[in-house]
Amino acid sequence: MDLRKAFLMVGKYQPKKQILYQMIADFDSDQSGIIEFREFVRMMSTHPGEKDTDEDFINVFYQIDQDYKGYITIDDLRELSSECNENLKDEQLLSIIQSCDSEGNGTIREKQFVRYMKSLQKRR
The domain spans of the chain are 2-45, 54-123
- Cβ distance 21 to 35 under 8 Å? no
Q: Helix, strand, or coil here: 101?
A: coil
pLDDT for res 89: 92
Q: Is 108 exposed, middle or buried (0-12, 13-18, 19+ CB in 10 A)?
A: buried
pTM of the model: 0.62
Residue 56 has pLDDT above 70, yes or no: yes
Q: What is the pLDDT of residues 97-112, one digit of tens each?
A: 999 998 999 999 999 9
- Residue 20 burial (CB count, 10 A): 17
Query: 1.10.238.10, 2.40.30.10, 3.40.30.10, 3.30.1700.10: which CATH number matches 54-123?
Result: 1.10.238.10
Q: What is the pLDDT of residues 24-54, one digit of tens each?
A: 888 888 888 888 877 777 776 666 556 678 8
Q: What are the CA-CA distances from residue 106 to residues 12, 46, 109 (Å)?
A: 29, 34, 10
- For the segment 81-103, the average pLDDT, to the nearest whole number, is 88
pLDDT for res 124: 56
C-alpha distance across the termini of the chain, in Å:
32
